[in-house]
Structure formats: structure tokens, C-alpha cells
Structure 1
Amino acid sequence: MNELYREIYTKLPERERQALLASLAERHPGLELKAFARFERFDRGTDTAIYSLDGSEFVFVPGDTVTLGWNSFADGFDEATQQDIDETLGEFDIEDGEAWIGSLMSPVRTVTVPPMLAERKLREIGWTKASPGDSAVVERWKAAIDNFESTSTNRLTIDKRLRLERSAEGVTVLSTYAPVSYEELLQSLQSQGFSLPTEDEWEYLCGGGSRTLWRFGDSFDYDMHLKHFQAPERKGAPHDLELPNEFGIHIAYDPYKYEVVDDACFLKGGDGGSMICGGTGMAIGYLPTATYYRPSYMGESAETDYKADIGGDYTFYRRIVRL
């Protein structure tokens, strides 16, 4: 239906648009309309609907023909970002910062992205919460649990096999890990009627076709970042990047978190914290959250190993349903 593409969809009267959104629930088994909603972020917005499907929230994302990828600035760095970038790249003897950044981005191309239902939040891979009544699991990890509970640590992962977390009530929550390969993840989702987004779809979900480096602009927003960590009134509040984007999706908000996609690059949205932990400064440290960033430093052997066990503490996924 052409009405599901943004050019026509955004021009529909509110009553027609809501009728169209309601009809999606009638056509897809298990899909339940929860609420109509409008999301706005970084001067872009979308009228959409929130649905419940398989125990999770999804939003409708209209299709569109957009330009994706990055090879030059729309506006350029402001003075603070330029200084930050120059200082960092100077330590590595990189003279042409724009060319270096471009080498880390996906190529510029024009694509048509289909309309879809997209899961709002990320899902973990390979982790399963243990039941408090599972005495065998509790007994097996008793020493680790006792040690964890004697500390003030809120979260601990042991050899990618066990994760211990302290709940808001102070109760220790156990999660155990079982390896999942990239192919197993794809096949499992397909059998359930879901897909992972392709790189094109992911970049559209992230930036909506915006042409700036980050979806909030070409310059890093230091005020946005610092107010989160330094303002007392922000304690416990989400970072601005963690808030829903223009489609109502939580995406590319944490440089530590990879998101798995169904494409040759297979990872988007983060770098496992490699840059930010390497003392690269804020702008470069958050470069992996740029809309078109494409991790490219893995060798063939490392990529094979990663795909053999795609889960862990830094790798997540979201499900989509193409319409």
C-alpha cells in the first residue's frame, strides 16, 4: 500500500492515518494496538502507533526512499568538536580527519526502505534468567553468589557463563549463558515470523534519512552529555540518546552496545566500547553511535569467531516485521 510510505502517510488526515494504523493490527495475528503516539527528537517527528506483539512493544515505521551513508559533512564541526577531534587524531598522526571518519562509514547510496513494524527496545542474546526456585543452578553457583552478595557491586559477569545483578529490591538475580551463533539467531527469528533489519533498514530506523554525522547533528553535543553525568537533578534519568528517537525506537545510544543486523557488516550501533575505552575523547568515543558508522576493524578470523557465538554482554538485536 502506498499509504504506508512516508510521502503519502504523513499527508493523511489524522482520522485516516489512525484507521490505517488500526487496520495493521487486524491483518497481523498477535498484533495488538496499544496507543497512537507522536515521537519527536532532534527536530524530526513521526505520528505512529505502539503495538504489543510477542510480549514486546513495536512501532509502525513508514517506508521511504532515502539517501543513506556518509562521505562529507552537511554543516561541519563546531569549534569544540573540531578541537576534540584534532587533539585525538593528532595523537595517532591522522592528518585528514574527514577522510578518516568517512573510511569508517557506510557508502552513500539511495535506497527504498519498506514500511515495517520495529521493536522499540533491544533484546539480549544467549542469556536466560534462572528461576529463584532452581536449586540446582543456585547450588552450582553458590560460591560466586556468596562472594557477589558480600560486595557492593551491582552487576558481575563471570567467564561469559553467569551474570549476577542486584535488583532494585536488593535481590540477586542470576542469568546463565548458552552460546548462540549468528546463523542460529537468523533461523530462529525466521521461524517465528520475524527478521533482523538489514544495514539499510537499520540506518533508516536510526536516522530517518538525516544527512548529518550523528542524528543530532555534525557536531557532538557536549552539553547533552555533560548534563546527564554532572547535573544532580539528572541522577538516575536516562541520557538524551537513550530516549526514543523520531520513530519511537531506542537505538544507537550506547557505544558499548553492538546491534546485530542481517547484512555483510552484521554489527551496527556501537563498537563494544573499544574507542571510548581507548582514551579517544567524547566525539571519537561516541562515533560508533553515528548513524552510518560501520565496524570494520575485525579480521576474518575474529569475525568468524564472533559469528560462532554472537551473544554476550555487548551484543543485542531487535526484531522487525516487514509490511
Structure 2
Amino acid sequence: MARCPQGLIAPALRLRDLSVVGLKDTVYAGRPHRAALFDRNGMRFALVPAGRPDLGYDASRFQPTAGQADSYAESAAEFELPPLLEYVDAMTSPQRPAEIPAMLVAGEAFDPCVVPLAADGPRVLEVVASAGTRSGTLQVYGSGSGLKVEFDQNGKVRRARATRRVSYHEALTALADMGLRTTSPDEWEWACGAGATTLFRWGDQSVDDGYPYHYKTGPHRETNLWGLAIAQDPYKHEATTERTIVCGGDGGGTTCGGDGFFLGWLTLATAYRDNEFGQWLASDDGYASEILTRPVIGLD
């Protein structure tokens, strides 16, 4: 299903500021792969091969475990939801054929609203001194901007970042200024699932006694087959080229609202689509503390 012509790697090497990190043998959910990794100005990219997959999800294939079924039954009774398979079908993108070109995809989501700061910069030192905080994470917010400082176990500044509120279009423009773009919805699903036809990229099963954030280890915390840290946290939804379509989460609404464990895990499904959430984000009333994108370098 996936194709990785060797001739595509050489043009990638000629891209400005792009260097080879190396090849890495990976195994995810029992599937082996040799990932090709690149670096561009400190941002790690993985080669996602071309493919002609069937994207989306057919809910009629889903066979829930007893725990998943029980969890959903409780949610359905409380929130007057339709039968389980009908709900899964409504909350995932429809099955469709696609043709995806080979591309380099960032290993981690990127927030164009964030500007790295030197740990010993005057602004960082001033804020730390005034707050007196020397552990964990310090966040300071002002009008339309903020500062986030992370400390190591010895109380030293490990990383500092300035944040500013930007619109969706400003975020995509910031990527374009870096010679990058974000994924289309189809590209995102292909990059996340890596050809898996199951509900999640690791299979159909999910934990039935907690939400994803309760588990710091597990298949959702591991990088996927192609070496991408993706769909790991429902709070970290990612923007795509389609303004109303976000992937990889729901902003934490389901988890924060206590809607039920299965519904909380469903937000990490490869084809998950919360259309109401996406439309709200794109409206005048929508807002987000960060706009995460998945940077792409095309190879065409």
C-alpha cells in the first residue's frame, strides 16, 4: 500500500537547511518499518511514503470489547446518544479512496504561535525572579501574549517560550514563511494511521477504566509506524488545510466534560471528526490557547 521510491530522497536532501539524521528500524502494533529521518533547523521530519489507501472508517467493522460497550452504554443513557456503531460512524470520516504523494512530515506537532527564548534572556530572568518559581512549569499571561518557562529537576531553566494569540490564517502564514505547510485532512489520516484499517492506529481496543491522560505509557504514547508522535492527547487537536476540520483530538472537551472513557479514547481514532467542534473553532465564537499544526515538506 505504501510506496517509497528511492529517487525521492535525493531531491529532499537538496532542500535548503535539510540534513539526514539517519534510518531507524521501528515496530508499531506488530508492523515493522524502516523510518528515514531528517532535520531542518532543529525540527525533525520523517519520510511518509506515497500510497493509495482507503481512508476513513467503516463502523460496521468495529467489534467493541465488553468494556467499550459498557462504557458507551453509560454515556448513551446519560446523553441520549444513538447506538454505538451509529455514533462511531457519525464521528469518523467516511471511507474514501485517496492518493497521497510522498512527503516529509514533522515528528511532532508545531505551534506557530510560539517563539523560543534564550534561557538566560532578560525577559525570562525578570519573570522568573519576580515569580520566585524554580520547579515545574511557570506560565505568565498578558494581553494577547504569554511566557512559558520549564525548569529541570535542579531548578534551572530548561526551556522558555513566548506565546502570542494568532488566527488560523496567521498560523498558516507563519508556516509558509518558514517554507512549510500543514497537512490536508487526507494527509493527516495517512500520516497518523500509516495504512492501518482499524479504529485506532494500534488496533480497535482502548482502555475502559480511564482516559488517555491517565496513562503515560501505552500505544497512544508511542510514536507511530513512521516515527510520528501523533494523536496522543485529546487536548492537542491539530489544524489542517480545511478550516473546519481538526484531527487528533477534540480540545479535551469530551475528557473534561466526563463524557465517558470510550468517548474520551474515540477522539484519538485516526479518522475521528468532531464536525460541531471544528465549525465552532472556525466561527467568531471559537477560540484556542494554541493552534497546533503538522508541518509538511512536499517532495513533488
Do both proteins adopt the same fold according to a TM-score greater than 0.5, normalized to the shorter chain?
yes
**Residue among 162, 169, 192 paired with 2:147:** 162
Corresponding residue for residue 296 of structure 2: 320
Corresponding residue for residue 232 of structure 1: none
Corresponding residue for residue 109 of structure 1: 96
Corresponding residue for residue 2 of structure 2: 6
- 1:267: Cα distance to partner? 1.7
SS at match of 2:32: strand
Contact 1:72 1:98 in 2 (8 A): yes
Corresponding residue for residue 249 of structure 1: 228
Q: Partner amino acid for 2:294?
A: R
Of all paired residues, the percent bearing the same amino acid is 26
Query: What per-residue deviation string (whole Å, max 9, x for no partner) do you get for residues 278-308 of structure 1?
Result: 222322112111101112223856523477x
Corresponding residue for residue 281 of structure 1: 260
Check 1:130–1:116 CA distance in 2 against 1; reply closer, same or farther (3 A cut).
Answer: closer
In structure 2, distance between residues paired with 1:322 and 1:276? 35
In structure 2, distance between residues paired with 1:299 and 1:116? 25
SS at match of 1:262: coil
CA-atom RMSD in angstroms: 3.0
Query: What per-residue deviation string (whole Å, max 9, x for no partner) do you get for residues 182-239 of structure 1?
Result: 112222322332111100000000112322211222231459989x85xxxxxxx744
Bigger Cα Rg: 1
- 1:70: Cα distance to partner? 2.0
Check 1:155–1:41 CA distance in 2 against 1; reply closer, same or farther (3 A cut).
Answer: farther
Query: What per-residue deviation string (whole Å, max 9, x for no partner) do you get for residues 18-46 of structure 1?
Result: x6575244432322122112222113332
Report matched runs for 1:182-261 at 5 Å. 182-221=168-207, 229=215, 238-261=217-240
* TM-score, length basis structure 2: 0.84
In structure 1, distance between residues paired with 2:16 and 2:107? 19
Check 1:282–1:67 CA distance in 2 against 1; reply closer, same or farther (3 A cut).
Answer: same
In structure 2, distance between residues paired with 1:20 and 1:249? 22
SS at match of 2:275: coil
SS at match of 2:172: helix
Q: Which has a greater percent of helix?
A: 1
Pair 1:85-2:72 in alignment: yes
SS at match of 1:176: strand
Q: Which stretch shifts more, 193-202 or 208-217? A: 208-217
SS at match of 1:90: helix
Pair 1:36-2:20 in alignment: no
Contact 2:62 2:199 in 1 (8 A): no
Check 1:83–1:114 CA distance in 2 against 1; reply closer, same or farther (3 A cut).
Answer: same
Instruction: List alignment gaps of at least 5 residues for structure 1.
Output: 10-16, 230-236
Q: Which stretch shifts more, 131-140 or 291-300? A: 131-140
SS at match of 2:36: strand
Contact 2:243 2:282 in 1 (8 A): no
* TM-score, length basis structure 1: 0.79
Instruction: List alignment gaps of at least 5 residues for structure 2.
Output: none
